[in-house]
Structure 1
């Protein structure tokens, strides 16, 4: 094995050890903690006390206030066993170091640990699947309780954006939908999701390639605002939060805004946003375009539209400081698709795909995502075109004539500067 491959195997071995959940390793050792807000707490297994040892539930990290130590699962095994780094990784993975540093355990111990590790992973997978299914059922109940958008705030919202009700079966309206953000602790010390807003919302169903319901895209509305979307602020920081959220499983799914009729779908228009996609639909209808066999699919975001990248690349301009304060290029998903990843599905009979890109998103990230999506679907034999909105605008801006408003505002500003001079 070459040095490069050996180093890669070692890095993967360490990553596997680091991926073990702290609570799983504590459970394997029969160390019991109790819930206290956002933590699980109890006596330290090493130095005692009553509640000095804790595990942060969201971060997944442990700490002991008595010893002043903490960290991930590797640091935990080092602390509990007095082990070095290699021995801790061996305990967590059930495998000896791949670079031949020598094992610290017997073959029987390693086999038992490997079996326990696989059992933990299988149980985590089962728990994750149960959670996803429970969440899907909760969201499906919300979807079932919602109403068609005709005559609702959602219809008025789309009309304000220049979009007449498209009679899309993928859209519904909820009159009083809660907006959850962060956590709060009740009188018993239990952590609860925090509701910071409640109001009307437009719902869109996310389905997989077989049409099975997978999740919801939710847009909270307020017609008193300029664009009709609710302005929701974090009560702690005052920061404005997105008026849109997605819950459930979006990756590998789509919002089928318009399915293309009863026959085979030969052409697809795809975009990340609902308003972008429906704006293009309105424009095409206005020109009398023949849309039979043409579907309009919304991905929800660029990540689902394009899928994951095979590698990251350096952004040409964006910089961020590293741990030593040195400015480094930000690494972003590149143009080569990872074909093993999931992305928005395109009907197999589709021969023409039009990808719609917003001109008001970060240019380089958007360009990489569009190239990635184009390559992904072209590899399946589809003729793929990318159509971008002008810089600084999206297709809804074009539909509403907002580019003329922007140009007029710029001209007025220049005129005022000239007068001041």
Structure 2
């Protein structure tokens, strides 16, 4: 890298201006980093805190190329971007992380699963199909190969009546795993090949929205499982040779084995607690990784619980935060609102992290927060 990333003439760009980019900028400011954003929405959460903001389509080839040509380094906060444009920019000398070929693989869940198989990375048995397979053995998890995110494009087919709702686009059909817990490991790999994992976290999902509702750090697992999960995340990072972060979502099976469910090549909802709960946050680690700096200490400072703040079910319109004052009075609670002025059912509007000396105490506070802080409309 010819110029230091903390100099004013170094331009770091992000495709996507949502909450992940917003939290990245909040950390990058500590290093005087100049961050430029491209996002399709004029109301993007990053708009007012970025060094510069460009409104444009992330899937449009010419828009992405035009945005990236004057940058020194380009990264992403969402996978759904034009990879052809990133490959062009890379050939023109712009550093692009994560690398375009990794994004191309991750954009297609079928290619992603085949990558795991090729590299002996444990994952649920699967088959690929270009249309709905009526002969598929039930129960099964059907995932669209492309376009799915935040629980969309994924459904469990348990019996024949569910089959009528099956997707008819190219899909992955996975065995339904009878898992004990859902886990996640954030792993970083920098430009020099240094790899570090964060401690394993445990996820609890909202059954209606299929989104993370609570995150617990550290996960309630044995040291043996902790090591297996961190080793597996390291294996994925080394196999892909990614530069940046990977969120490696895993299943812990009833017999104590861990297997990869999916990966995301960026900061992730399952790492938000690191801002308050760990020595280095996932966002600072991402900056360190893509700029070739030494990776930071990932140790836990204190047990923590993250609560996702989702838009209330029957509320669409200008957002009103109910119960904020009560939550701000809770010791150890830190509120993060994402700069989204409009709410809708189950939209990610923010999160709260609770740190405490004991995880059970943090869980009790998190439950109170969940019951108190509501994102509504007036």
Same fold (TM over 0.5): no
- TM-score normalized by structure 1? 0.21
- TM-score normalized by structure 2? 0.22
The structure richer in helix per residue is 1
- Give the structure, 1 or 2, with the largest relative contact order (CA under 8 Å, sep 6 or more): 2
